[in-house]
Structure 1
Amino acid sequence: MEQKKFDLTSFIGMILLGGILLYWMNTNKPDEEILETTTTEQITDSSKASNTQNTVTVNKPVFENDSLKQVAFTNKLGAFAQSAINGKEGVTVLENDVVKLTIDNKGGQIVEALIKNYKTHDSLPLYMIKDKNSSFNINFGTTDNRILNTKDLFFEASTSKNGENNILSMKLKVSDNQFLEYRYEMKPKDYMVNFSIRSQGLSSVINSSNTINLDWSLDGYRHEKSLKTENTMYSWLYYKADSEVDYISPGNSEVINDLNWVSYKQHFFSSNLLSDTPFNSATITSTDLVKNEEIDTVFTKRFELKTPLALTNGELNYNMKWFYGPSDYNLLKTYEGTGLDETADLGWGIFGFLNRTVFYPVFNFLKGLLSNYGLIIILMTIVVRLIMSPLVYKSYLSSAKMKVIRPELTALNEKYPGKDNAMKRQQETMAIQRKAGVSMMSGCIPAVLQMPVFFALFKFFPTNLALRQESFLWAPDLSSYDTIFTLPFKIPFYGDHVSLFPILASIAIFFYMKMNQSQQANMQAPTQEGMPDMGKMMKYMIYFSPIMMLFFFNNYASSLSLYYFISNLLTIAIMLVIKNYVIDEDKIHAQIEENKKRPEKTKSKFRQKIDSAMKQAQEQQAQQKKGKK
């Protein structure tokens, strides 16, 4: 094959063509029409500021020719073109002892919200807003038929003081006398930040026939150790409308009238927007972002608010508040009249009432005496059990009375055997119990009265911020589960770890139920023909309940397991004291015999109706029996 030779003529031609191409590229520019339609301004992320002064990073101009830049932005933004032309990158930091907010010139919105004095479960700074997980925008139309979004426009920042309060004014200007303003005012040591939206001189610029929409969305960062607990049980979108606080479940969207505030609640922390002027026809949406709880994730839920804003005399004028902080009942109740304390999730009805009026005051009092929260829980458990001990005594006293009359009830079953005598047997049984001063309900009522306490504390401990990341014994965080051993696999409904406090609580409840079995047996009348054997059912419950508790509480707050462990131990101790040192069966038997000698009290109307109904049923049963013969 012939070897290729160097061609000098071709080489010179290539150099000439390259030179011509470079000259053409550097001397010819697109015309103004192309620039107006195809060029956009690109803005990099804002630089970070570390103080309350406005920190500005000057944006590199897209256009070298200012006249071309002005023409392009005028065609795109109309009256707000100057805000884009003169716009500068930068952020302003407002901070006090508890919260730090970073506000960007672009959009005038909060781009970082740091909750001070708290950390995530993995010891990182606790941000509610960071890396564009939130957006706050007002969408509006102009009189020259443009649709604009504040999140895309540059505001001009200026700071000032009002006493000890730091003030930040962010203005989106048409001119010095025409602007849209976001005004932030931060107080010392307060999570609540005053925020207002107002316009001046824009009645001739904003098209009032178009809807002005406010959109606020946030993807909630995961903060806690247990993703399942944080996301599934305690992250909700709360709202207040018509003086009522309610919430929506994930995956739902609702239109709410007269909306006072929304709270994007994430277990122990929340992002709230409050308005003095209620929003009408606001749409709120909650979306679950967790696809698989076994996979580590950054975000838990997406919260969204979309609401129209009303003009007053052609201008916007809304006084609002931002709250980025802990969902602490003790803190939220200080904001009187807002109803924010209801987002602390203390339970509904009687359960919330007990938490607010009994358990929080007791807990706060003990917190003022001790610094170890494990000991506070133990002391609180002792207080609760002592308060409940009269109910335990009442239940045990009824059990002892039933034990005394049990031989008579057994004899009654033998006297009236079979289904045909069921009504007569029941009637005589009630008569014996009535004469002895014994009621089946007297044993059930104490147990029923203890149930509200059980469910109230079921809400109290896992939502109590004071317990978050507080350690006790082997548990590093009383608001989450403790781990003594990590399993190489996952057990359904149990998890991939072993928690010790639920094991101790399960053992304690087993011995409590074992001890309580004889008491329950005394409370039951002898088993009648055709009726289920409650004794056998109780035997199964002795083993079933501790196992269920072991599985359920393995992923729950260790503070709750600690409470149930101590509570069951104290209940066992109280029962032993009552049985051995308080209850005297001989005295009870003598009292029952004395009661039998007394004339029977006049029956109440309710009792008369029951006896009459039972007598009629007995007569009908006898007639049916004769008819068969």
Structure 2
Amino acid sequence: MDKNTIIGLLLIAAVVIVFSIYNRPDQEQLAQQRRIQDSIARVDAQRTALEAEQNRSLDTLEENTPRQDNVRSFFSAATPQGASADTLAAVNVAAQESPSDSLAETSFDAVSKDFVTLENDKIRLQINPKGGAIESVQMKEHKKYDKTDLFLFEGDEARFNLELYNRQSIRLSTEDQVFTPLVAADGKSVTMRLAYSSKQYLDFVYSLSDDDYMMNFDIRLVGMSGGLHSESLSNFKLNWEQKMRQQERGRTFEERFARIHYKYYKQDVVRMSESKKEEKEISEPLKWFAFKDQFFSSVIIADQPFSNAILSSQVLSDPDYIKDYKAEVLVPVTASADGDEFTAGFHYYFGPVHYNTLKGYDKDIKDKADKLELEELVYLGYRWLSWVNKWFVIPVFNFFLSLNWSMGLIILILTLMVKLITSPLTYKSYMSSAKMRVLRPQIQELEKKYPGKDQDVMMKRQQATMQLYNQAGVNPMSGCLPMLIQMPVLLALFFFFPSAIELRQQSFLWADDLSTYDHIISWSGNIPLITRFLGNHISLFCILMTVTNIIYTRFNMAATDTGQQQMPGMKAMPYFMSAFMFFFLNSYPSGLNYYYFLSTLMTIVITLSFRQFINEDKLLARLEANKKKPKKKSGFMARLEEAQKMQEKQARENAKQNAKRNYRR
């Protein structure tokens, strides 16, 4: 290193030292620098703690939402820019920035498992922040058959989710997202909000009125139009699944009356099969569909009709559940004028299948085409029978129920009313059989005059019998017509009792529930043949009904014996039918068997009364007098005689043909 280089380095070092000394901060400047460094250190520490807390929140959310990452992924998938929210906490802050005026922020944490409760005097609902869906529905006025609380569903027994699709057709589901509950100040409604920012969010709005089974449900999608597929903005796709609990002791009937119902828009209500697995794809507009068991139902009613639906039902062998229902539906969406908000409105009905309650929802609807017709969920028999129940049986029940009478007494009064109304027909039927009974000696003379079972002889004997009836003014068929007229009433009541929730858990004598079977003997396990036809019990009311029916059968056969020969086995047929009815009705509601027991008993009493007041000697004298009067054949008798002649002619032709064939052989 030469002399000049050394001098240069020394001069540079001297300049640096002089500059450092000249620019050295004073004590005040040094204190200010220390304050700045301390502030930076505190900010770094807070940032580290916040990031750790954010990671813990996201880890917890991911555990609760296995199918999707988190709220951030849901909205980023539906946002064109794919913008990222800083944290889930920021999402909750966004939800609080602009809540509706009528909403008050609750204390629910973003990953809280606490449920929101809406209730009135009739139902109690819990709504789960996860998925924003209804977690459970409890009927507060009703109990399960074992007297425990009655839930239509609870927990994973029901599943609801809204499906959306982004512009790349990627499926977005609300099922596993965590919503923020915003509860109204009056506690009657709650908005479950899934928010990305104050201007981008999805709301599920639930509103429950006082003293009602019907609840409003609205879906609002705000600020998402840029990132969603056009189909998702024109139709929301909803999925609803529900496993139906066994609520009643009589599982057989609960399965029989548990089915999916749906109503075409401005058209009829349709029932799906209750006994087999069935799936229906429906392209016509639907107003509502219902998941129904025997006495309770979950109904979803759209403000605008569902445009497409896939409904499926499956019978379950699970001891706790009877059916599994599923529905996939599309519902039209209404867009705001600026195209920023998309909404769809619904109503839920969670309640009893009670005729007057369901019919009451059409009270203020004047146009028949616009009526909901929810009362069609109550199965009252075929259309040509249901009018008996709608216009007679149900009003009678409601009237006496309003008087707080016991159900056993009401059924007794109803039976008396039916018997009084049909007594003229019963009297006419009895008179027809009485006329043929007093002519029995003359019929027996004809049997002796035309003995044997040869076809020609039988035809002559039948012809002579009809001539005798015609001369005496007796129509053998007049006793059948009154019975046929009474059949609609008897059949209507047969359909009414299994569907009448009024009988549910109403006790009478030894029966603790008139809506299902009463049992004096019951057993577990399977007894071949017996269990198949009787179930695992024997009903006392069914036994009483059967015994009374056998007594009436014996009495009636003696009273209607006209002396004519009958086909072999015909006398035993009525007794066989009585025994068959025991096996058939043993599992039917005890209220129905009680009604049949009373009805048959009253019929015996009425028939005996007729017999006491009708003088058969005078009746026979009147019939003998009729023989002397000129007779004009009635149209029926003329047709009957013509049919007999044709039958006799055909018999002769057949006899000739048989004779020819035998001769050729």
TM-score scaled by structure 1?
A: 0.80
* Consecutive unaligned residues in structure 2, runs of 5 or more: 1-54, 93-109, 363-370, 661-665
Q: Hey, what's the Cα distance between the residues in 2 that align with 1:227 and 1:135?
A: 24
Which of 254, 265, 284 is the aligned partner of 2:311? Answer: 284
Q: Secondary structure at the match of 2:389?
A: helix
Indicate if the aligned counterparts of 1:236 and 1:248 stay in contact, CA closer than 8 A: yes
Q: Hey, what's the Cα distance between the residues in 2 that align with 1:589 and 1:205?
A: 94
Indicate if the aligned counterparts of 2:72 and 2:88 stay in contact, CA closer than 8 A: no
Q: Secondary structure at the match of 1:538?
A: coil
Q: Hey, what's the Cα distance between the residues in 2 that align with 1:352 and 1:472?
A: 26
Using a 3 Å threshold, how does the CA distance of structure 1 residues 615 and 550 change in structure 2: closer, same or farther?
Answer: closer
Q: Hey, what's the Cα distance between the residues in 2 that align with 1:265 and 1:330?
A: 17
Residue 77 (structure 1) shift: 6.4
Q: Which residue of 2 aligns with 1:253?
A: 279
Using a 3 Å threshold, how does the CA distance of structure 1 residues 317 and 503 change in structure 2: closer, same or farther?
Answer: same
AA partner of residue 485 (structure 1) = I
Which residues of 2 match residues 44-55 of structure 1 at below 5 A? none
Indicate if the aligned counterparts of 1:155 and 1:172 stay in contact, CA closer than 8 A: yes
Using a 3 Å threshold, how does the CA distance of structure 1 residues 611 and 494 change in structure 2: closer, same or farther?
Answer: closer
Residue 151 (structure 1) shift: 1.3
Residue 177 (structure 1) shift: 3.2
Q: Hey, what's the Cα distance between the residues in 1 that align with 2:459 and 2:631?
A: 21
Residue 286 (structure 1) shift: 0.6
Q: Secondary structure at the match of 2:512?
A: coil
Q: Which residue of 1 aligns with 2:367?
A: none
Which of 300, 309, 317 is the aligned partner of 2:322? Answer: 300
Identity of aligned residues (%): 35
Matched, 1:241 2:264: yes
Indicate if the aligned counterparts of 1:412 and 1:425 stay in contact, CA closer than 8 A: yes
Using a 3 Å threshold, how does the CA distance of structure 1 residues 584 and 460 change in structure 2: closer, same or farther?
Answer: same
Which of 386, 389, 394 is the aligned partner of 1:360? Answer: 394
Indicate if the aligned counterparts of 1:378 and 1:566 stay in contact, CA closer than 8 A: yes
* Consecutive unaligned residues in structure 1, runs of 5 or more: 1-34, 46-61, 64-68, 292-296
CA deviation profile, 1:488-518 (whole Å, cap 9, x unmatched): 6543222333322111111111111111111
Using a 3 Å threshold, how does the CA distance of structure 1 residues 622 and 241 change in structure 2: closer, same or farther?
Answer: same
Comparing 439-448 with 125-134, which one deviates more in the overlay? 439-448
Q: Secondary structure at the match of 2:249?
A: coil
Using a 3 Å threshold, how does the CA distance of structure 1 residues 586 and 235 change in structure 2: closer, same or farther?
Answer: same
Matched, 1:207 2:240: no
Residue 212 (structure 1) shift: 4.5
Q: Hey, what's the Cα distance between the residues in 2 that align with 1:555 and 1:623?
A: 52
Q: Secondary structure at the match of 1:473?
A: coil
AA partner of residue 398 (structure 1) = S
Q: Which residue of 2 aligns with 1:325?
A: 351
Matched, 1:559 2:591: yes
Q: Hey, what's the Cα distance between the residues in 2 that align with 1:280 and 1:157?
A: 30
Q: Which residue of 1 aligns with 2:160?
A: 136
Using a 3 Å threshold, how does the CA distance of structure 1 residues 95 and 578 change in structure 2: closer, same or farther?
Answer: same
Q: Secondary structure at the match of 1:197?
A: strand
AA partner of residue 241 (structure 1) = Y
Q: CA RMSD in A?
A: 3.1
Residue 266 (structure 1) shift: 0.9
Which of 185, 198, 202 is the aligned partner of 1:180? Answer: 202
Using a 3 Å threshold, how does the CA distance of structure 1 residues 551 and 424 change in structure 2: closer, same or farther?
Answer: closer
Indicate if the aligned counterparts of 2:302 and 2:331 stay in contact, CA closer than 8 A: no
Matched, 1:99 2:123: yes
CA deviation profile, 1:202-241 (whole Å, cap 9, x unmatched): 322321146742111101111111222212x211111111
CA deviation profile, 1:550-586 (whole Å, cap 9, x unmatched): 33333221111211122221111111111112x2212
Matched, 1:594 2:617: no
Using a 3 Å threshold, how does the CA distance of structure 1 residues 350 and 519 change in structure 2: closer, same or farther?
Answer: farther
CA deviation profile, 1:454-497 (whole Å, cap 9, x unmatched): 22222222221122112111111111222223336543222333
CA deviation profile, 1:215-270 (whole Å, cap 9, x unmatched): 11101111111222212x21111111142111111400111221111111111111
Q: Hey, what's the Cα distance between the residues in 2 that align with 1:178 and 1:488?
A: 59
Matched, 1:119 2:143: yes
Comparing 341-350 with 109-118, which one deviates more in the overlay? 341-350
CA deviation profile, 1:79-121 (whole Å, cap 9, x unmatched): 6975966361343211111011111222221111111121111
Matched, 1:218 2:242: yes
Comparing 70-79 with 460-469, which one deviates more in the overlay? 70-79
Q: Hey, what's the Cα distance between the residues in 1 that align with 2:83 and 2:507?
A: 55
Q: Which residue of 2 aligns with 1:577?
A: 609
Q: Secondary structure at the match of 1:537?
A: coil
Q: Hey, what's the Cα distance between the residues in 2 that align with 1:620 and 1:557?
A: 51
Indicate if the aligned counterparts of 1:276 and 1:318 stay in contact, CA closer than 8 A: yes
TM-score scaled by structure 2?
A: 0.76
Matched residue count: 554
Matched, 1:437 2:473: yes
Q: Hey, what's the Cα distance between the residues in 1 that align with 2:193 and 2:71?
A: 20
Q: Hey, what's the Cα distance between the residues in 2 that align with 1:481 and 1:624?
A: 55
Q: Which residue of 1 aligns with 2:174?
A: 150
AA partner of residue 121 (structure 2) = D
Indicate if the aligned counterparts of 1:77 and 1:146 stay in contact, CA closer than 8 A: no
Comparing 375-384 with 124-133, which one deviates more in the overlay? 375-384
Q: Secondary structure at the match of 2:514?
A: coil
AA partner of residue 228 (structure 2) = I
AA partner of residue 538 (structure 1) = K
Which of 149, 161, 166 is the aligned partner of 2:188? Answer: 166
Residue 410 (structure 1) shift: 3.5
AA partner of residue 536 (structure 2) = D
Q: Secondary structure at the match of 2:243?
A: strand
Residue 194 (structure 1) shift: 1.6
Matched, 1:537 2:570: yes
Q: Hey, what's the Cα distance between the residues in 2 that align with 1:191 and 1:229?
A: 24
Q: Secondary structure at the match of 2:508?
A: coil
Indicate if the aligned counterparts of 2:76 and 2:83 stay in contact, CA closer than 8 A: no
Using a 3 Å threshold, how does the CA distance of structure 1 residues 617 and 113 change in structure 2: closer, same or farther?
Answer: closer
